[in-house]
Amino acid sequence: MPHEVVSREDWLAASRALLEQEKAWTRERDRLSALRRALPWVRVGKEYSFEGEQGPVTLAQLFDGRSQLIVYHFMFGPDWTEGCPGCSLLCDQVDGARQHFEHNDVSWVAVSRGPLDRLQAYRRRMGWNFRWVSSAGSDFNFDYQVSCPEGTRGDGVDYNFTRIPDPGVDELPGVSVFHRDDSGAIFHSYSSFARGGEMFLPVYAWLDIVPKGRNEGADGMGHWMRRHDEYPDDGRRQATPSAAPSCCSSGAR
């Protein structure tokens, strides 16, 4: 859309006014982050087992010697041959940061219900190095409300701390955080779903500062986003490719 063109002095005045609002938003973000960390915890009483590259692995073992664990609920169902494009976009941005928060007592793992061989094949295709385990045969995805038991979607599903209509898919995205104390007890401290995952997408932060923003059409991220090996060109041409599935948009925050 056309933008007003002004003098440098007028631009500085408008930027200073915007900065005051940006500072207020930063302070509000800090307040919300403190509230997240202050949430009460729930002790995890169930023994969960996952399938990993070296065989079965427990939830406790996923901490990998650290006291904090981030689980990304990656949408990749038992019959899927590829991972969700939106989850893939998020995971494109994990490995670079992971080496830093691993040195701050935080482990990170992706968990999906898909069979391990397909998860690993897709991870190799995408060039990722983070840990990815299968929760097939476990109640983990159902207990943390990111998968729907077969035949249960008709009356809606519990997701994002509420009841939502049938999302049209059996898998939904989310993030769950766990803490393990010195005695070995594990606690669930935080979960985030739907648009709550946007805070983990630095690509959005970059796009939000340019004039066209996220450039999303009525179909959301599907208007432009692809798995990184599926873009038809280098982005310089203005072709509009066909829409990709917006499978991470269910349950708006």
Residue 171 contacts residue 147 (beta carbons within 8 Å):
yes
- Residues 121-159 have pLDDT tens digits of 999 999 999 999 999 989 999 999 999 877 688 888 999
Q: What 8-state DSSP symbol labels residue 253? A: -
Which domains are delineated in the chain? Answer: 42-199 (3.40.30.10)
Q: How far apart are CA 145 and CA 161, in angstroms?
A: 9
- Residues 56-86 have pLDDT tens digits of 999 999 999 999 999 999 999 999 999 999 9
Q: What is the mean pLDDT of residues 213-228?
A: 78
Lowest mean pLDDT, pick from 32-46, 61-75, 125-139, 212-226: 212-226
pTM summary value: 0.90
Cβ neighbors of 72 (< 8 A, separation 6 or more) are: 87, 90, 91, 94, 108, 109, 110, 111, 174, 175
DSSP E strand stretches across 31-149: 42-43, 49-52, 55-58, 68-73, 106-112, 131-134
Q: What 8-state DSSP symbol labels residue 127? A: T
The one-letter amino acid at 42: V
